[in-house]
Amino acid sequence: MKSILAKKNGFTIMELIITLSLLGIVLAVIYALFFYVQSSFNNANAHLNINQQLNMAYMQMEQDIRSAMKPNYLTDAIIISDDREMHIYTYDEAKNKYIRIAYRLDFSKNAVLERGLAICSDNIPPADENPEYETITDWETLIDGVIERYNGKKSGFTLMSAASPTEYLKPTPTPIVRKTINITLIVNDPDNPMNEPVISEKVLTSRSNSNPK
């Protein structure tokens, strides 16, 4: 009788061990599935947030670039001093003001793309080369989490000349100067970093007057 009870007790303990083992496996699978779903959801949100910032920034840059205009004969309408900064000169007819729009990539503090404005206080801008108008102190952050380099790519601005359609305006040369701006932005969400950042490349073309207003 004792032998039968011992066997029954042993069988019950074995069942418990097997049940706990199976339960552990099921819980591990559920946890892995939950982690995968949560990670996918976070990545999707991060991608959405980054793409929204990129689209808004590109729209703003395209608008500014298309409004570019030389402030004087010595200064180009668009200047890229290095691959981290782009300066766009324009004229606001509604405000009757000459404006310098600056974009900069700042990797020293918060890894951001920023935009700032410098307004000329005079009715006619200075005649010297690349006038600053004023020091920009108020910067607007357009994109957070910009990465300087990743996988052979580098965030920055590159300026290239584009052909102007002089054949349509012969014999007088066209006053329109076209330039192509290549923009590369590598971005990751600082609050919810992904395994790999988003690498975005955009080409924008200016159509600015070769003569100042």
User: Mind listing the pLDDT tens digit for each residue in 44-66?
Assistant: 788 889 999 999 999 999 999 99
Q: How many percent of the chain have pLDDT more than 90?
A: 47
SS3 per-residue string spanning 134-166: CCCCCEEEEEECEECEECCEECEEEEEEECCCH
Q: What is the pLDDT of residues 92-140, one digit of tens each?
A: 988 899 999 999 999 887 789 999 999 999 888 898 999 999 999 999 9
Neighbours of 181 (CB within 10 A): 22
Cα separation of 98 and 89, whole Å? 7
The yes-or-no verdict on residue 152 having pLDDT over 90 is yes
Q: Report how far residue 190's alpha carbon sits from residue 143's, in angstroms, rounded to the nearest whole number.
A: 11
Question: How far apart are the C-alpha atoms of 138 and 121, rounded to whole Å?
Answer: 17
**Looking at residues 146-175, what average pLDDT do you find?**
70
CA dist., res. 35 & res. 82, Å (int): 43
First to last CA, the chain: 111
pTM score over 0.85: no
pLDDT surpassing 90 at residue 78: yes
What pLDDT band is residue 185 in, cutting at 50, 70 and 90? very high
In sequence order, what are the residues at sequence separation of 6 or more whose Cβ sits closer than 8 angstroms to the Cβ of residue 152? none
Point out the least confidently predicted range of 25-29, 112-116, 170-174. 170-174
Half-sphere exposure of 137 (CA within 13 A, CB side): 2
